[in-house]
Amino acid sequence: IGMARSIDMARSLVRPVLGSGGGTTTPAPPAPAPPSTPPSGYTRITGAVVDAASGKAVRGAKVLIIKPGVSVHEVRNDTLKLYLHSRGTTNSRGAFKVTRKLGRGATYGVVISAKGYKVKRAEAGIKLGAGAPATLDVGKVKLRRKAKKKRARRSGCGCSV
């Protein structure tokens, strides 16, 4: 019985070749794939930026969402307008929300910067699937302070002779 089922399945995959006259068969082409439609809808991104050491809010941090397909390392001051999808700035509590919603079914790079802190870059920082919520809170993002530069000590009065 198992063998008969296999033969029936095999027959369903074979169809006669038109115009051959001899009843020759050839495998049927695979069924066409259903049309691919991108997931509909958009997601708003929210979160907070905090100091990695103290956990305190970082005010005025810039959160940049980079267009899908663009490396975060391509983003510079002169290319920012070209590659920027959305942005946000943290308030006094370190909270932010980006100005433009992100389309579902895409992956976005993220760049976060603040005065006195190291820039944080995430190549695939936000991946939104088809079932992403209307609002996604990314939680707390920690920034590390830049190392303070030591001043060179002057010897003497600093006068030139």
pLDDT at 156: 53
What are the respective helix, strand and coil percentages of the chain, to the nearest 5? 10, 40, 50
Q: Over 50: is that where the pLDDT of 2 sits? A: no
Question: Which residue has better confidence, 70 or 33?
Answer: 70
Question: In this predicted structure, what is the pLDDT of residue 153?
Answer: 60
Res 86: pLDDT: 93
The pLDDT of residue 157 is: 54
Point out the least confidently predicted range of 31-35, 68-72, 111-115.
Answer: 31-35
Q: In the predicted model, what is the mean pLDDT of residues 45-58? A: 96
* pLDDT for 36: 43
Q: What distance in Å separates the CA atoms of residue 131 and residue 148, rounded to the nearest whole number?
A: 44
CB-side neighbour CA atoms (13 Å) of 69: 2
User: Which ranges constitute the DSSP H helices of 29-128?
Assistant: 80-83
More confident residue, 89 or 160: 89
